[in-house]
Amino acid sequence: MTMADAYLKIKKPDFAKSTEMLFKAKEIAEKLNNPLLMAKIYGSIANQYSFLNYPEKIKPYLDLSKIQVEKLPNGYEKNYLTARLFIEYGNLEADRENFALAKKNYQRGLTALQKNGSPDKKNIFQYQRIFYNIGVANTYLRKNDSAEYFLNKAIAVKNTENKEFKYFVYNTLAKVYTNRDETKRAIDSLETVLDDPDFKDNRLKADMYRQLILSFKKLGNNKKYIEYSEKLLKLDPDVKENNQKAIVTAVNAEQKDLIGKIDERENHNLLLLILCVLLILSAGIFIFFINQKRKREKLLYQNFLKNLDNSQHDNLLGPEVEVGKEKVSFSVPSAAESAILEKLEKFEASDKFTNSKLSVASLAVLFKTNPTYLSETIKKHKEKNFNTYVNELRINYICKQILERPEFLNYKISYLAEHAGFSSHSAFATVFKGVTGISPSAFLREAELKFKNLPTR
Distances (CA, A) of 411 to 289, 329, 381: 28, 45, 35
CA pair distance 392, 311, nearest whole angstrom: 11
> CA triplet 376, 382, 386: central angle to 5 degrees?
55
CATH number of 3-258: 1.25.40.10
List of residues 6+ apart from 431 with CB closer than 8 A: 391, 394, 395, 422
The DSSP letter of residue 161 is: T
The sign of the dihedral angle between the CA atoms of 336, 341, 343, 347 is positive
Q: Are 257 and 23 in contact (CB under 8 A)?
A: yes
Report CA 32 to chain centroid distance, whole Å. 39
CA pair distance 69, 172, nearest whole angstrom: 31
List of residues 6+ apart from 448 with CB closer than 8 A: 409
Distances (CA, A) of 332 to 93, 387, 426: 50, 20, 36
CA pair distance 11, 39, nearest whole angstrom: 23
Size of the chain in residues? 457
Confidence at residue 340, expressed as pLDDT on a 0 to 100 scale:
93
Q: Is the pTM of this model over 0.85?
A: no
- What backbone phi and psi angles, to 5 degrees, belong to 123? -100, 5
Domains in the chain: boundaries: 3-258, 332-383
Distances (CA, A) of 134 to 148, 202, 296: 10, 24, 42
Q: Are 426 and 394 in contact (CB under 8 A)?
A: no
Closest C-alpha to 169, from 155, 190, 188: 155
Q: 26-46, pLDDT tens digit by residue?
A: 888 888 888 988 888 888 888
Report CA 201 to chain centroid distance, whole Å. 18
CA pair distance 425, 161, nearest whole angstrom: 37
Confidence at residue 145, expressed as pLDDT on a 0 to 100 scale:
94
Confidence at residue 264, expressed as pLDDT on a 0 to 100 scale:
53
- The one-digit pLDDT tens for each residue of the chain (457 residues) are 544 454 444 344 555 667 778 788 888 888 888 898 888 888 888 877 776 666 777 888 889 999 999 999 999 999 999 998 999 899 888 888 899 999 999 999 999 999 988 888 788 888 888 999 999 999 999 999 999 999 999 888 877 777 788 889 999 999 999 999 999 999 998 999 999 888 888 888 888 989 999 999 989 998 888 888 888 877 755 444 444 444 445 445 554 554 455 455 545 666 666 777 777 777 767 666 666 666 676 677 677 777 766 665 455 434 443 433 444 455 789 998 999 999 999 999 988 999 988 998 899 889 998 888 899 999 999 899 999 999 999 999 999 998 888 888 888 999 999 999 998 889 999 999 998 888 898 888 888 887 776 655 4
Q: What number of other Cβ atoms are within 10 A of residue 187's Cβ?
A: 21
Confidence at residue 303, expressed as pLDDT on a 0 to 100 scale:
72
> CA triplet 23, 81, 33: central angle to 5 degrees?
50
Closest C-alpha to 26, from 249, 268, 241, 279: 249
Q: Are 52 and 243 in contact (CB under 8 A)?
A: yes
Confidence at residue 238, expressed as pLDDT on a 0 to 100 scale:
47
